[in-house]
Amino acid sequence: MRGVITLGASFCLALAMPTVASAEEQSSEAPAAPPRPAPLPPLEPSAKPESRHVDFGAAVALVHRVAEGQTDGESLVRYPSALGVGLSARVDIVRYLRANLYVVRASSELDPSAGALGLPGDPGPIPMTSYSFGLRLSPTLPLGPRARTWLTVGAGWGRLETGRFDVASSAGSFQVRERVFSFVEFPMGIGTSIEVVKNWLSVEFEATAAFHVAQRGTALRNGQAIDALGRRTPVAAFPSITASFVQTLGLALVL
């Protein structure tokens, strides 16, 4: 009986050995797995594109207003160039287009010649103040990361005030009262800016020319004054404005 069991075990072992050998051969013949690739470096956060949405500016302004009749020599009154200040706020509407709110104020003294305004004497210096404000649209072209240029066109409203002044005549001196007139202007021009402190501060220059309509007020009408003898003396009207030229140079806060 023991011999039979031993014989059966030998037979089973003989059947199993080829299977084990075949598995070992297949395992040895299988190709080795490729090495694991090195991990990728971490992605750097992408920088957001730089943009400017609002600029607030303050500038020195040089204002010159051309009086009607000045170019052909008919007028005895010529408005002098005046120094003043300009304020602006530029806001992005869409890419390459900005809106510009502006205010310009300037003061000077008019030194008329004898006989100006039809007065019987020599008028002294006449203080003059003008200001205007309005809205301009500015197609804007970047010239690089820190520079840009633009064209500008718009509309605004303004006012010119003449102060009291004295007239020296043969009968004595007398005073002429202040007068004013207002106008609607349509400016157009060109400007440029350069950032001196990136994303913070820029230098700006702008030059505009404007024509005027709807001019009205006491300064554009004939008036009267009381001379040194107590008599009424006619005072002629100031000339209206044919055109205005404004140049500004200043700094703007970039936001």
pLDDT level of residue 237 (50, 70, 90 thresholds): very high
Provide Rg for the chain, Cα atoms.
43
How far from 230 is each of 120, 133, 136, 237, CA to CA, in Å? Answer: 14, 41, 50, 21
Q: Is the Cβ–Cβ distance between 130 and 156 less than 8 Å? A: no
In eight-state DSSP terms, residue 2 is: H
Q: How confident is the model over 31-48, as pLDDT tens digits?
A: 666 777 878 777 666 655
Task: Examine residue 137 and state whether it is found in any structural domain, yes or no.
Answer: yes
Q: Decide: helix, strand or coil at residue 160.
A: strand
Distance CA 188, CA 136 (A): 8
pLDDT surpassing 90 at residue 28: no
pLDDT surpassing 60 at residue 13: no
Q: What is the CATH number of the domain that holds 214?
A: 2.40.160.20
Helix-then-strand count for the chain, H and E? 1, 13
Greater model confidence, 210 or 74: 210
The pLDDT of residue 71 is 46
How many domains is the chain partitioned into structurally? 1
Task: Examine residue 35 and state whether it is found in any structural domain, yes or no.
Answer: no
Tokens of 226: 């009381």
The pLDDT of residue 113 is 82
The pLDDT of residue 200 is 92
Greater model confidence, 209 or 41: 209
Distance CA 1, CA 7 (A): 10
Distance CA 148, CA 50 (A): 14
Mean pLDDT throughout 148-159? Answer: 98
Distance CA 138, CA 208 (A): 12
Task: Examine residue 18 and state whether it is found in any structural domain, yes or no.
Answer: no
Tokens of 191: 């400007």
Mean pLDDT throughout 107-120? Answer: 88
Task: Examine residue 32 and state whether it is found in any structural domain, yes or no.
Answer: no
Task: Examine residue 163 and state whether it is found in any structural domain, yes or no.
Answer: yes
* Strand pairing class (126-142; 97-110): antiparallel
Give me the domain span that covers residue 94.
54-254
pLDDT level of residue 162 (50, 70, 90 thresholds): very high
pLDDT surpassing 70 at residue 26: no
Task: Examine residue 43 and state whether it is found in any structural domain, yes or no.
Answer: no
The pLDDT of residue 21 is 46
Mean pLDDT throughout 132-154? Answer: 96
The pLDDT of residue 109 is 95
